[in-house]
Amino acid sequence: MTPASDGMEATALTRGEMFHAVISGECAPPATSGDAMLTVHERPEITLQPVNETICEDDNIAFNVSAGLTTSPTYQWQVSFGAGFNNVGGAVYTGGTTPTLSLSNVPSSMNGYQYRAIIGGSCTPQVISDTIVLTVHEKPEVLLHPDEYGIAPCFANAMLTDEKIPVVCETDIHGAITAVMLQAANMHKEPIFFADLTIRHPERNNSELLWHCGNFPYSLKAKDSPASVRWHGEVFPGIAQWKLKEGEITMLRFDGDNGKYSLLMGHAHSVEGPQTSGTYLWVEVNDWPLWEERFIRGPYIHHVAGIYGKFAPVLYEACRYIPELRPDAVEPSEEELKKWLRE
């Protein structure tokens, strides 16, 4: 066998070189085969490794890798944020299967993410690049402006609510309507409290924690509960902390969607539960999954107003005189409330 170019015997195999066979015998002339080309593929290789990068949040960045002479190279970038490597994906990434992985508007939450590239080709095995780390610094920000008072409003809210002036949190307008209605239901004899629905009791399946970061009125504090006003983290003071007293309560939530309004109401009673921060009360009902279903299917959010006493019948009857307001009785049920009002 000789190279087609000069008829000399081949001493090395060269990519792209042409070969043919010459067959000789007792008779002339010799026979020559057709030409054949030798194709030699390069195994996957990395000739340029990606490197660690440091940026500021919301900036853009790109990682690069080179596959050198790899035949028909393929690229796959991967990311790990503590749970092993997975292929990159999401709006922040482009070029996840190219030599250059680009990241846009990178948030500070991606600080410490690790990246690598996997190179494949016509031959095996694949090769994996060095693992690199992305460092994302947070931009300067102002947590306390000079024109702010520098305190959390929670304890001030508790004081106002104690004066029968209901105050709610987080711009919850429907929550404010709820609180005013419930305050009126007991003729302003005792203050309401405005709470988040948070977590179930660790031992009682029908019990729930009514909690907020310090806006429950001090006059409703349990006698045996310590009381304090603390800092919100290390930023703002003004967070009240105490447990509310025992007793029967009414929970209420006014809410609406697409112009249709309803008033969820029901009774509960206090139970003992784990101590926690902020102002809080553990309560129990007969069927908490039923309450959850009403809240989840709406149109209600997780804020409720509470007051000591059983006022569901009063509130149910009030809906009769408020146009387009549907009563949504949980415990007691609507039929039980109708029976109570008839009696």
DSSP3 helix / strand / coil % (the chain, rounded to 5): 15, 35, 50
Burial-class residue 318 by CB neighbours within 10 Å (0-12, 13-18, 19+).
middle
252: nearest Cα among 179, 335, 340:
179
Structure-derived torsion over alpha carbons of residues 55, 59, 60, 63, reported in degrees to the nearest 10: 10
Q: State the Cα–Cα distance between residues 159 and 221, nearest whole angstrom.
A: 12
- Residue 305 near residue 179 (C-beta atoms within 8 A): yes
Which 8-state DSSP code applies to residue 16?
T
Whether residue 186 sits in one domain with residue 79 = no
The domain in which residue 106 lies consists of 53-137
Domain boundary among 104, 137, 170: 137
94 pLDDT band (50/70/90 cuts)?
very high
Whether residue 225 sits in one domain with residue 116 = no
> Domain with 304 in it: what CATH number?
3.20.14.10
Asked if residue 80 belongs to a domain, the reply is: yes
What is the per-residue pLDDT for 149?
A: 66
Domain boundary among 92, 111, 137: 137
Whether residue 192 sits in one domain with residue 284 = yes
Q: State the Cα–Cα distance between residues 313 and 336, nearest whole angstrom.
A: 9
Q: State the Cα–Cα distance between residues 184 and 179, nearest whole angstrom.
A: 9
| CB proximity list for 301: less than 8 A, separation 6 or greater | 172, 174, 253, 255, 295
Domain boundary among 89, 105, 137: 137
Whether residue 211 sits in one domain with residue 276 = yes
273 or 6, which is more confident: 273
Q: What is the pLDDT of residues 268-325, one digit of tens each?
A: 999 999 999 899 999 999 999 999 999 988 899 999 999 999 999 999 999 999 999 9
What is the per-residue pLDDT for 6?
A: 42
- Residue 139 near residue 56 (C-beta atoms within 8 A): yes
Q: What is the pLDDT of residues 216-256, one digit of tens each?
A: 999 999 999 999 988 766 667 888 999 999 999 999 999 99
Q: Is the predicted pLDDT of residue 10 greater than 90, yes or no?
A: no
Q: What is the pLDDT of residues 57-78, one digit of tens each?
A: 999 999 999 999 999 999 999 9
What is the per-residue pLDDT for 32?
A: 86
219, HSE (Cβ side, Cα atoms, 13 Å): 13
Residue range 109-137: mean pLDDT, rounded: 96
What is the per-residue pLDDT for 153?
A: 84
Asked if residue 229 belongs to a domain, the reply is: yes
What is the per-residue pLDDT for 14?
A: 59
What is the per-residue pLDDT for 140?
A: 83
**Cβ count near 19 (within 10 Å):** 17
What is the per-residue pLDDT for 8?
A: 38
- Report the chain's mean pLDDT, rounded to a whole number: 90
Overall number of domains in the chain:
3
Whether residue 313 sits in one domain with residue 188 = yes
> Domain with 102 in it: what CATH number?
2.60.40.10
Residues of the chain with pLDDT > 90, as a percent, come to 73
Residue range 30-53: mean pLDDT, rounded: 91
Whether residue 98 sits in one domain with residue 184 = no
Asked if residue 148 belongs to a domain, the reply is: no
What is the per-residue pLDDT for 1?
A: 44
Q: Is the predicted pLDDT of residue 3 greater than 80, yes or no?
A: no
Whether residue 316 sits in one domain with residue 232 = yes
Whether residue 241 sits in one domain with residue 127 = no
Whether residue 287 sits in one domain with residue 173 = yes
Amino acid at 204: R
Whether residue 230 sits in one domain with residue 194 = yes
Q: What is the pLDDT of residues 160-217, one digit of tens each?
A: 999 999 999 888 999 999 999 999 999 999 999 999 999 999 999 999 999 998 899 9
Whether residue 129 sits in one domain with residue 162 = no
Q: Is the predicted pLDDT of residue 118 greater than 90, yes or no?
A: yes
pTM of the model: 0.57
Whether residue 214 sits in one domain with residue 160 = yes
Structure-derived torsion over alpha carbons of residues 165, 304, 190, 186, reported in degrees to the nearest 10: 100
Asked if residue 45 belongs to a domain, the reply is: no
Q: Which of 40-44, 235-239, 262-266, 273-277 has the highest mean pLDDT?
A: 262-266
